[in-house]
Structures are given as C-alpha cells and as structure tokens.
C-alpha cells in the first residue's frame, strides 16, 4: 500500500496539496484535489509512484486542480457548556470520578450580542485582508443549541457580512421544529449529528449529564426538523471497542427512522483524546473489513457517503495566522482549530486585538486532529484508511456510483 504526497504552491494561496495512490482489489486508485481516477496498468512504476506520462494525463484531466478559496470560514462557539457527558470529549478536563456522565469540562462561556459584533467585525477585517467577500459560519460548542438566541442572532447579523452558507455541529437533543425553521430561514443548510453505535450502546455512551439516553430524542428531532427545514444531515458514527458490534444494526435502524436520501454517513474510529479515555479497538484487518461492510450497507440502504479525499489542508488551521478562517470562542478568544477551542492554554489571540505574534503562538498553533492518539500509531492509521478507501472506491465503481 502506498500513499504519496505532492507539494504544490499557489501564488495567491500557498498551501500543502496532497495526492494519494492507493490499492483496490484488482487495481490502483488515484485521489487528487480535483477528483478520483482508476489507474491503468503501466501508470505506476514498480515502487508504486506515478509515471510522468500518467501524472501529465491526470493533470490535463484536472485531477490536480485545486479550488481557489473564495469564502472565509468562521467557526463560532455559541456556548462552551454541553448537556451530554461523553467520556471521549476533547473539552473534558477529567472523567467523572463517580464513573457517571458528568465529567468536568472547560470553563463556562456564552456568546452575547456584543461579542457577536466583535467576532463579525474581526472576520470582516480578515476577509478584506485576504480579498474574500463571502462568509461561511459553523455553529459549534459545547452544544451550540444551549444558546439558541446566540445562534439565531449570529446568523442574522452575519447576513450583513456576506454570509453565503452555514452549518452546525450539534447533538440535536435540543433541536425543536421552531428552531430548525428559524435557522433554515437564516441560511443554515446542514447539521452534523453523532451516533455512538446502535441504540443500547449509544444511550450508554452518549447520555445526558442529568442521566438518560438520547437515541430516541435525536432521531425524533431529526424527523420533526425534516418537516419544516431542508437540512442535509451529516451523520457521524463514532466507532470504539464499546460499540463496534452494533454498527450494522445501527445502519438498519437509522434507515428505518430517517430519510436516507437526506443523510450522509461517516464512520470514524474515536481517538484517545479525552482525558482518561482509551479506545482499545486496533486498526487491523478485522476493522478494515467492518468499515468496508458498513459503507456497502449504508449505500445499499440509500445513504450517501463522501468520496475519499486527499489529506485535506483545513483552510482555518493549516494556513499561517488564520488567513482564510478562524475559530472564535464564546468569549471572543481565538484558537487555531476547534480541537483546542475553549482552552485558555491554547489561546492564540482575541477578536478584539487579533492574533498574537508568531513567536508567542509557537507550540499553540496546531492543526485538526493533532491530539488524536491511536493505539497503532500514525502509519497504521494511514494503512487502515487506504484499505478502507480502496474498498469503498471498488464498490462505488462496481455498482455504477462512481
């Protein structure tokens, strides 16, 4: 198996561009920033690298073409609180000493009208400096809907700053039809919701801090929201040694309760990021086969899955000094990425004063997934992801979906 990387530089927007060459069952696949292609015999050298003629052909076909950034990506924490007590959450500061669902968390902060103005004025200055006129907003937390007024006010005011799209990462336990209608009317187009295995496992892992499961509540709220809003639902399925045996049943249950045509599913092994949390599920052949089967089952039940991608450069955290995006806390503090949001030790500035000088943010400016630890290490994760993606592309091709 081989993943390769190609550095490229855009005069206007320098960033790292990657390519991947991965094996399928009986062929190799090329994944570039411009798309996916099945490689023919002779396209690769004996060591698995692209031959110059093949690379030239792929370039001419546009598979190396990168999309020019035109939109400023703004993530805003509307609340640092959460009504759930998931043990793996990166915003926990310790596990619940009683073994329950009340782990200690980052400090309380709640977005206000004044801070909204300061965040959007900061974004406007950054957009002008980068030559961008369009704005996308991601509502984040904690749980963003613990501050519904802040969510509504932020999107309403963002319309004055060129808002063209909005999304939200939410546990959906607080999403009412009225609120869904309001958010949709203000430009929200998608919502990401997490499931932690089939219902029994989910209700034990993704429980309310006050106690009690959330599976029925989440699926009911999604169904009710569908009646008043046209959200695209991004269903993230967390996979761990606690719940992997129930994922097949979860896919069937979600297909029965939700509208698969409006839902995309993403399966993700949970990293050992939460303080005191460990996922003992190894990245081996058994897990690879399970991921491949789950993708096939989801597709056959009418869900969509995302095409494999290159090692994506997040425009918020991988470009120096947040040129094309920012993560703003509910109190106006700035983080390099959402992994460190809400933690004062990782603060890289404020929306009032801007980013700190590079010498002061050295060691604090980190990129997505920087803290995610895996039992088998990064090389095992890369090999695992290549195998999963190769199997997915094989199936998409065999069923005429690619």
Res. 126 pLDDT band, cuts 50 70 90: very high
What is the Cα–Cα distance from 300 to 275, expressed in whole angstroms? 37
Q: Which residues contact 106 (CB under 8 A, 6 or more apart)?
A: 80, 91, 93, 342, 343
**Nearest to residue 339, comparing CAs of 373, 374, 370, 375?**
370
Provide the CA 15 distance to its chain's centre, in angstroms: 20
Question: What is the layout of strands, in order, in the sheet containing 188-195?
Answer: 263-269, 232-239, 188-195, 163-169, 134-140, 71-77, 325-328, 333-335, 349-350, 354-355
Q: What pLDDT, in 10s, does the model give residues 27-68?
A: 899 999 999 999 988 999 988 889 999 999 999 999 999 888
Res. 265 pLDDT band, cuts 50 70 90: very high
Q: Is the pLDDT of residue 257 over 70?
A: yes
Q: What does pLDDT average to over the chain?
A: 91
Q: Which residues contact 35 (CB under 8 A, 6 or more apart)?
A: 61, 62, 63
- Output the CA–CA distances (angstroms, integers) from residue 307 to 112, 171, 366, in the order listed: 38, 24, 26
Which of 175-179, 273-277, 307-311 ranks highest by mean pLDDT? 175-179
Question: Which of 41-45, 126-130, 132-136 is predicted least confidently?
Answer: 41-45
Please, are residues 123 and 154 in contact by the beta-carbon 8 Å criterion? no
Give the three-state DSSP class for 98.
coil
Q: Is the pLDDT of residue 401 over 70?
A: yes
For range 95-111, the mean pLDDT: 94
Question: Which of 162-166, 254-258, 335-339, 379-383 is predicted least confidently?
Answer: 379-383
């Amino acid at each position: 198996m081989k993943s390769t990387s190609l550095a490229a530089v855009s005069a206007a927007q320098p960033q790292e561009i990657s390519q991947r060459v991965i094996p399928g069952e009986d062929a190799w696949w090329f994944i570039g920033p411009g798309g996916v292609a099945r490689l023919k015999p002779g396209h690769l050298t004996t060591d698995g690298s692209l031959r110059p003629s093949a690379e030239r052909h792929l370039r001419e076909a546009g598979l190396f073409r990168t999309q020019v950034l035109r939109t400023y990506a703004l993530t805003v924490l509307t609340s640092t609180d959460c009504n759930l007590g998931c043990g793996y959450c990166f915003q926990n500061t310790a596990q619940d000493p009683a073994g329950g669902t009340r782990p200690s968390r980052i400090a309380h902060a709640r977005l206000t009208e004044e801070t909204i103005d300061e965040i959007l004025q900061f974004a406007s200055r950054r957009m002008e400096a980068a030559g961008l006129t369009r704005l996308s907003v991601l509502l984040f937390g904690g749980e963003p809907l613990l501050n519904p007024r802040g969510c509504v006010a932020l999107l309403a005011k963002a319309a004055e700053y060129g808002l063209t799209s909005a999304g939200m990462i939410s546990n959906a336990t607080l999403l009412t039809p009225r609120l869904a209608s309001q958010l949709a009317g203000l430009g929200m187009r998608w919502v990401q919701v997490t499931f932690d295995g089939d219902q029994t496992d989910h209700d034990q892992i993704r429980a309310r801090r006050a106690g009690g499961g959330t599976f029925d509540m989440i699926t009911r709220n999604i169904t009710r929201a569908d009646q008043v809003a046209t959200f695209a639902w991004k269903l993230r399925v967390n996979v761990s040694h606690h719940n992997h045996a129930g994922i097949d049943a979860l896919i069937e249950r979600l297909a029965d309760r939700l509208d698969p045509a409006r839902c995309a599913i993403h399966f993700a092994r949970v990293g050992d990021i939460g303080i005191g949390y460990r996922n003992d599920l190894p990245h081996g052949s058994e897990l690879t086969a399970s991921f491949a089967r789950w993708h096939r089952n989801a597709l056959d039940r009418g869900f969509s899955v995302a095409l494999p991608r290159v090692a994506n450069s997040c425009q918020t955290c991988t470009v120096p000094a947040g040129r094309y995006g920012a993560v703003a806390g509910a109190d106006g503090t700035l983080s390099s990425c959402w992994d460190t949001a809400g933690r004062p030790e990782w603060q890289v500035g404020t929306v009032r004063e801007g980013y700190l000088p590079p010498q002061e943010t050295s060691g604090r400016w980190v990129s997505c997934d920087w803290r995610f630890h895996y039992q088998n290490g990064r090389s095992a994760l890369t090999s695992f992801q290549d195998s999963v993606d190769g199997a997915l592309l094989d199936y998409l091709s065999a069923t005429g979906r690619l």
